[in-house]
Each structure stands twice: as structure tokens, then as C-alpha cells.
Structure 1
Amino acid sequence: MKNKNLKIVIAGGGSTYTPGIVQALIKSRQKLDFSEIMLYDIDDTRNSDMQLIVEYQLKQENLQSEVSIKKSTDPEEAFRDSTFVFSQIRVGGLKMREVDEKIPLKHGLVGQETCGLGGFSYGLRTIKEILRIVEYVQRFAPDAWILNYTNPETIVSEAIRRVYPNVRMLNACDMTISIEETIARDYGYNRNNWQPVYYGLNHFGWYKSIYDISVDRDIMPEILEKISNEGLKIADFNKGDKTWQEAWDMLAKISRNFPGALPNNYLEYYLYSEETVEKMDPNYTRANIVLDGREKRTREMARKIRENESGDVLDFNFGEHGQYIVDMAVSIVNNDHGRYMLIVENKGAIPNLRSDAMVEVPAYVGRNGAEPISLRFDISDFHKGLMEVQNAAEKLLVDAYFENSYNKALQAFTLNQTVPNANVAKVVLDEFIEANRGYWPELH
């Protein structure tokens, strides 16, 4: 594998998360010798703004003569000769994310971009485009690795598994890292000493243990006690966003009510759907918060650079989001066998769960890709039951996409654990069909 003068493609280059990825690339350049960053996006305006920002970042680090930054809306130009493709596409943009969130809320259901029926809407919209990205990479850079951040991860990875079972691709989510970073920061731990054991589906899982090599023991019991007694606090990069503090508060509640495992905070949408809906404003959802926050700040950064303003121009802090995906690339290039939480086909990793489920478990990453860890224990009936229902619903949704099946879509919507009955599932499905015309496949 080529390990010098690498070409890094960011698919969804206009995303507000791109500066965080570039920041991580710059920080890791001694380990990842890249000479080109290519921004690929179908929205040339957003891509142009991001090119300005990335160029500014490179100048700040005196790398403008060593690293070229390019943008393109043409897939061949973008992907040809690439080494890594970081995929973070959002099909339909924030406008359609708002639709995903507000239609369920109108009916008293969870309105969220990856969970509940909003996540299913987003999933059906995304499958076609993520498969197209994979096809482009197979055609123009067959030796490249795709590191995928595109949501909803389990649905996306299930679709890719069916069409491209042998693709050089890692599907990852940074939510587990955010949970770990928050715990380590709040309670004074060093996360670099941890070897966590986690299992689930994407945004739907639990930590069984967190072994700390610095003290040579599992510190999960004391972490759970601290969370129960003290709770968790919002991170600096989410400061001012009360929805994140509410998420950490719900994580503490789940930990107290279902002791023995540390949950992913997204489980609140399934275990306490009515309570989460009560906290949501059906007229001003997370999409609106992002539009008025991160999106606005990004446009302002580009304006300042374009108009040669002085002073503090760069205004972003995305925590570990960018570093996590860059670290995986480093682990592949250098064959480091670093340990990451990845979405992989189960194949016995969780012994008492169906083999073809796309699960999120620890895996070692090297030149040959992911080597998932076999947990070597049966998960509890409670966790297994929750996961089996969620997995069946997601597989039915992917069936609906490939079979153009209205019936399979309705089954998936009805089975979703945020939905109380088939009547409301059908009403929301029919509204989403209208809202997603031109994005979804035609369902018959």
C-alpha cells in the first residue's frame, strides 16, 4: 500500500465537520504523509466556502506549499488515485433533516436524525447515494480505503454489505468516543489507558466493561456509581447547547434504572420515547439549532477569509470527531492494529445474536482492515431482545429499498421501537413518501 504523498478525499466536503477532520489530518501528518486533500460535494457553493477555510488552516500551519487543496463536483476527478475516502455525506442536507425530525413530532413520536422514523427516512434517502460513492471508488480508485461516517450507520452498512461484501471499507461512529471522553474528563481518567468492551448496533449499545491498564482492573463499577451520583457535564465544544446536557442526564437515568452496564445515550429515544418527545420543540428541532449555530459560524468563517479580515477567524471545536477517523487511516497505513469501535457483520462476535446482523463491537485495524473481537459471552435477554427488534426493523427497511416494497417499509416502521402501533406507522410512512419524492425509491 502506498504510504507517502497520499490523496485524501472528503466526500461531503462542504460539511461543517470538515475543518475538524482537516485539523486532525494536520495534527497527524508525521504519521500520515498526505500531499492532497480533495473536497467532493454536489453543492459547489458549500464546497467553495470549505476550500477557503481549509486553505486558511493549511496556511496557519505553513503547509500551503506542501499540501494542495482541491475541490470538485466531478466524481472521476475527485476519486481517481485516492488513497483514503472519508465519507460524511448528508443526502438532502439540513432541509431534509428538518423534515425527518418534524414529521414524527407532529404525531407525537421521536423526531431525530438517526433514531426512530426520522432515522428510517434518512436511511432510505441515503442508501442510493452511499452505494454510488462506493461504486465511484471501486471504479476510479479500487485500492482506496473508504472510512465511513455517513449516517444512519447500521442501515447504510447493511445496504453496502449486500451489494459490496468485499469492499475495503470501515464503518465507524464517534459517539462511543464522545461518551468515553466525557466520562474521562468529568472524573479525571485518562482514556488512553482504557480497553473498553462495548456491543450493540449503531447508536444502540452498551459497555460491559472498561479495563484501565494504569490500575490493572475494570473501572466500570466505579464509573457507574459516579454517573449515578454525580451525572455528566456537557463538553466545551457543545457549550450552550442544552440538548446535549439533557442527553447526558438521560444516560445517567438509564444507568440508574438498568444497572450493570453503561448505555449509549441514544437509547433514550427507544426506552423513554415519550419523555424525550416532551422535551422537543416540534417547531424548532435539532436541525434548526445546527442551522443557526454550526452552519452560520461556518459561513461566517468563509466570509471573513474571503474579505481578508484579521483576528480570530477559525471558530470550531469538534472534539474527537475528526481525530477518530484520521487515527483509523493512520492505523491502516502503519499497520498499527489500533483498537476501535466499528460496525461489522456479526459472524459470531456476539455469540447469541444472528450472524448477519451489522453490530458495533471493538475491532483491531491494520493493513487488512478490521479484525473484530469475539466477545466470548452471551449478552443478556434484555439487551438481545432490544437489539433483535431493532435489527429486524432495519433489515426490513433495507429490504424495502431493494425490493421497492411498501409492505416491507410499513413492517419496518411498525416494528420501530419508538412507534406505538401500525396506524401511526402508516400515517407517518405515507407523509414521508410525499416529503421524500425524488429521494426515496418508489414503493409499491
Structure 2
Amino acid sequence: MKKDNLKITIAGGGSTYTPGIIQAILNNIDKLPIGEIHLYDIDEKRNNDMFLIIDYMLKRENLTDITLKATLDPEEAFTESDFVFSQIRVGGMKMREKDEKIPLKYGLVGQETCGLGGFAYGLRSISGLLEVVGHVQTFAPHAWILNYTNPETIISEAIRRVYPKVRMLNACDMTISIEETIAFNYGYNRKNWISEYYGLNHFGWYTKIYDKSLERDVMPEIIEKLTTENMKVADFNAGDKSWQAAFNMMSVITKNFPTNIPNNYLEYYLYPDMVVEETDKEYTRANMVMEGREKNTREMAEKIRQGKTEDVLNFNFGEHGQYIVDMASSILNDEHQRFMLIVPNNGAIPNLRSDAVVEVPAYVGATGAEPISLRENICDFHKGLMEAQVAAEKLLVDAYFENSYQKALQAFTLNQTVPSARFAKLVLDEMIEANKGYWPELK
């Protein structure tokens, strides 16, 4: 792999998260020396808007020697790429809105990655990411794909079946957001932490957080704090009421199950009734994003079109971009940094089925990910929750490849946000109509 003048392709280049990735690249140009950035998207308007924003960022940093292109042509986008950052959203925000609102009609959790909304999104995302991976295998077979496309464990399972040897890392930045929020609230420095964690994507638990500066496991004291006070959202989620509610629920989970720090997304599986009670069925997270980040991005692009040079950029970069750039740097420079990654289990969690796709710590170097084994069995409570979720996700992937309505219904029924097969069938049938042209035809 070459070490400089790198070509990076962002699949889903029109995403509102792209500026954060670019800013992280610019902040780490010494470790990730790039020569070209290609924005690839099937939505020409969004991609062109993002081109204007990224071009503005490069010129502001006097980095005009970096080639920037926006394209709808996969051959142009991927040929000779060194890294592909994938963050596609098949169906866009309009389909996300349906993912959230259709289950809510039946009193079920409406969420983009969890519950039946997550399964609907998963069936759409599989085809989209398979297409991206196919393009990479054709035009840049030696490139590394760093994937943020959700829902991660479903996507990872599907890609593994078709491209078992693909050079691809699947990562989610939620654990980083949780750690940053904890550190922000309680006065720690997350960069001093070595965290031990296991689970599935958006479905896991911390077992230890060793703080190198304090030379001790700080998880017990964090649990004590979580059970006595709610956390405030960190700066990158400032003012976001939905994230504040999520971290409030994290305290509820910890109070009831105080042996571990949970991923806050577990609220959808452990307390689906409480979540639904607090959800506005007419105005969901998708609406917030469309009227927030999406609108904000269009306004920034319009300011640039009008020739404005002051007060143009208006977004919080957060950790999303930094995480994926750190992974690329760790591969390029063989740094063996530690990340939470979604990988085939293969014994990492000894008493969980070996063919599960799990999220565990892994070291990343020139040859990819080296997952860390827990070396001991997990408790029956966590194992039971995970086994059911793994089975549901595998059934869903089976349904995709086999065009099986029966497997899809089984997956929807087994999803732990669903109390009855009756509701599973009602939602599935409505989702089939809503996703025509996106899902495979289920028979």
C-alpha cells in the first residue's frame, strides 16, 4: 500500500457527516497524507452541495493542492482508491421517516437501527452496500473499506456471505460517544482509557474501563454516579433533547442492572413500552434531522453559492469523523490502535455462537483487525438477549438472500421489541409496500 498522495473515496459523499470526516482528515494530514478526495453519491444535488462545502474547507486551509471531485460514476469514484469510507443511507431520510413511523402506528419502537425500523433499513442497506463493495472489488480491489453504514451487524453478516475476504472494517462510533459523554460529565479524560466491552451493534455492555492515569478500573465509580444522577449531553450533542432523553434512560438501565455500563440503545430492547410512551408518533428523529442537520447543510451550500466568506460553516464535528480517520491511519502506519469493531465472533465471546457478528475491542494494523478474546463466558442474561438478537438478524439476512417472506416474518417476530407475531406481520406487510423498489421481492 502506498504511503502518500492517497486517494480517499467517500461513498455517501452527500451525507451531513462528510464535513466531520474531512475536518478529521485535515487535522491528521501528517498521518494520512491525501492527494485526492472523491465524493460519490447517487443523489447529485446533495453531492454537489457537499462539494461546495468541502471545497470551501480546503481553500480555507490553503490545501488547494488536494484534488476534490464529486461524481455519480462508480468507476471514476473508486478506481485506484486507497481507502473507501462508506456511510450510505439507502432511501434517504424519507425512508428513515417510514422506518420510524410505521412501527409506531402499532405501538412498537420506531427507530432507525433498532427494532423493526432497523430491520427495514437493514434490508435496504444490504443491497446498497453490496453494490458499493462490488464496485470496490472491480475498480480498487486492494482498497480498504471502512464502513459506517447501519445497521452494522446485519450489514456485516450480509457482506461476509458474499465477500468473505474483502478488506473491510465495520465500526460504530456510539461507544466513543458514550465514553466522551461520561468523561465530559464526570471529569475523566477518555484518551487515558482502555475499555473492555462486548455485544452486538447498539446492543452491548462495558465490563471494565481502566484509566491509565489513575491506574485503576473506574467503571465501579462511574456506575455509582450513573445510578445517582443523570448525565448531560456532551458538547457535540448540545441542545438535542432526544439524546438527552437517551442518556437519561441509560441511568434507568444502570439502576436496574448495576453490574455493567450499558450501551444506551438497549433502552429499545429492555424498555420498549417506556420509549414508545415518550415518542411523538408524528414527529420523530427523522423529522428532527431533516429540519436540523439536513436543512443546515443546504443553507451552508447556498451561502457559498452566493459568494459569502464569513460565518459559512455551522456544524459540530463530534467524534464520527475522527474515529474513521484514526482507523485509516492505524492501517496505513501499522499503529495497532485499539477500536470497538464489528467482527465475526469466532470465539471472541467463548459461550456465544461462533458465527455471530459481534462488537468487541480489536487492534488494527496493516493486515486489518485483530479482535480481542474475552477469555471467559458472559452471563446468561446478556447471552440470552444476544442469542435472540443474533438469530433474528441471521433470519433477516436469510430472508434477503432467499427472497423468503417466511424468514422475514420469523425475524420480525423474534425481534425483542415485538410482543406478538400479529404485530410483526402487520408491520412487515406494511413495510413491504413502503419499500417497493428497495427490498428484494419476498415470496
1:240 is displaced (CA, Å) by 2.1
How far, CA to CA, are the matches of 1:370 and 1:310 in structure 2? Answer: 42
1:39 is displaced (CA, Å) by 0.1
1:231 is displaced (CA, Å) by 1.9
Q: Name the structure 2 match of 1:31.
A: 31
1:356 is displaced (CA, Å) by 0.6
Q: Name the structure 2 match of 1:220.
A: 219
SS at match of 2:227: helix
1:310 is displaced (CA, Å) by 3.5
Q: Name the structure 2 match of 1:151.
A: 150
SS at match of 1:360: strand
Q: How many corresponding residue pairs?
A: 443
SS at match of 2:197: strand
1:390 is displaced (CA, Å) by 0.4
Q: Name the structure 1 match of 2:16.
A: 16
1:229 is displaced (CA, Å) by 1.5
1:226 is displaced (CA, Å) by 1.1
Opposite residue 146 of structure 1, the aligned amino acid is: I
SS at match of 1:336: coil
Q: Name the structure 1 match of 2:349.
A: 350
Tell me, yes or no, if structure 1 residue 121 matches structure 2 residue 97: no
Q: Name the structure 2 match of 1:49.
A: 49
Structure 1 residues 59-96: Cα deviation after superposition (integer angstroms, max 9, x where no partner): 111111x2111011010010000000000000000000
Q: Name the structure 1 match of 2:238.
A: 239
1:239 is displaced (CA, Å) by 2.0
1:316 is displaced (CA, Å) by 0.8
Q: Name the structure 1 match of 2:196.
A: 197
Q: Name the structure 2 match of 1:89.
A: 88
Structure 1 residues 84-119: Cα deviation after superposition (integer angstroms, max 9, x where no partner): 000000000000000000000000000000000000
How far, CA to CA, are the matches of 2:433 and 2:332 in structure 1? Answer: 45
SS at match of 1:431: helix
Structure 1 residues 144-195: Cα deviation after superposition (integer angstroms, max 9, x where no partner): 0000000000100000011111100000000000000001111111111110
How far, CA to CA, are the matches of 1:27 and 1:442 in structure 2? Answer: 45
1:311 is displaced (CA, Å) by 2.0
Q: Name the structure 2 match of 1:297.
A: 296
1:408 is displaced (CA, Å) by 0.2
1:432 is displaced (CA, Å) by 0.2
How far, CA to CA, are the matches of 2:341 and 2:72 in structure 1? Answer: 29
1:237 is displaced (CA, Å) by 2.5
Q: Provide TM-score, normalisation by structure 1.
A: 0.99
How far, CA to CA, are the matches of 2:117 and 2:30 in structure 1? Answer: 41
Q: Name the structure 2 match of 1:366.
A: 365
SS at match of 2:228: helix
Runs of 5+ in structure 1 lacking a partner? none
Opposite residue 329 of structure 1, the aligned amino acid is: A
How far, CA to CA, are the matches of 1:79 and 1:309 in structure 2? Answer: 32
User: Percent identity between the aligned chains?
Assistant: 72
Q: Name the structure 2 match of 1:182.
A: 181
SS at match of 1:229: coil
How far, CA to CA, are the matches of 1:310 and 1:146 in structure 2? Answer: 34
Opposite residue 90 of structure 1, the aligned amino acid is: R
**Residues 393-432 of structure 1 mapped to structure 2, 5 A cutoff:** 393-432=392-431
Opposite residue 143 of structure 2, the aligned amino acid is: A
Opposite residue 38 of structure 2, the aligned amino acid is: M
1:123 is displaced (CA, Å) by 0.4
SS at match of 1:427: helix
Tell me, yes or no, if structure 1 residue 390 matches structure 2 residue 389: yes
Q: Name the structure 2 match of 1:318.
A: 317
Structure 1 residues 242-294: Cα deviation after superposition (integer angstroms, max 9, x where no partner): 11000000001101100110000000000000100011111111000000000
How far, CA to CA, are the matches of 1:334 and 1:8 in structure 2? Answer: 16
1:411 is displaced (CA, Å) by 0.2
Runs of 5+ in structure 2 lacking a partner? none
How far, CA to CA, are the matches of 2:432 and 2:62 in structure 1? Answer: 50
How far, CA to CA, are the matches of 2:324 and 2:73 in structure 1? Answer: 24
SS at match of 2:199: strand
How far, CA to CA, are the matches of 1:157 and 1:424 in structure 2? Answer: 27
SS at match of 1:167: coil
SS at match of 1:230: coil
How far, CA to CA, are the matches of 1:206 and 1:373 in structure 2? Answer: 15
Q: Name the structure 2 match of 1:63.
A: 63
How far, CA to CA, are the matches of 1:180 and 1:312 in structure 2? Answer: 31
Opposite residue 47 of structure 1, the aligned amino acid is: N
Structure 1 residues 199-227: Cα deviation after superposition (integer angstroms, max 9, x where no partner): 00000000000011112111100011111
Structure 1 residues 317-368: Cα deviation after superposition (integer angstroms, max 9, x where no partner): 1310000000000000000000000000000000000001000000000000
Structure 1 residues 19-45: Cα deviation after superposition (integer angstroms, max 9, x where no partner): 000000000101101011100000011
How far, CA to CA, are the matches of 1:197 and 1:128 in structure 2? Answer: 33
1:377 is displaced (CA, Å) by 1.2
Tell me, yes or no, if structure 1 residue 142 matches structure 2 residue 137: no
Opposite residue 170 of structure 2, the aligned amino acid is: N
Q: Name the structure 2 match of 1:254.
A: 253
Q: Name the structure 1 match of 2:265.
A: 266
1:50 is displaced (CA, Å) by 0.2
Tell me, yes or no, if structure 1 residue 336 matches structure 2 residue 335: yes
Opposite residue 421 of structure 1, the aligned amino acid is: S
How far, CA to CA, are the matches of 1:159 and 1:431 in structure 2? Answer: 24
How far, CA to CA, are the matches of 1:365 and 1:145 in structure 2? Answer: 12
Opposite residue 59 of structure 2, the aligned amino acid is: K
Misfit runs of 4+, over 3 Å = none
Q: Name the structure 2 match of 1:164.
A: 163
How far, CA to CA, are the matches of 1:190 and 1:240 in structure 2? Answer: 23
1:139 is displaced (CA, Å) by 0.6
How far, CA to CA, are the matches of 1:264 and 1:188 in structure 2? Answer: 20
Structure 1 residues 369-424: Cα deviation after superposition (integer angstroms, max 9, x where no partner): 00000111111000000000000000000000000000000000000000011011
Opposite residue 380 of structure 1, the aligned amino acid is: C
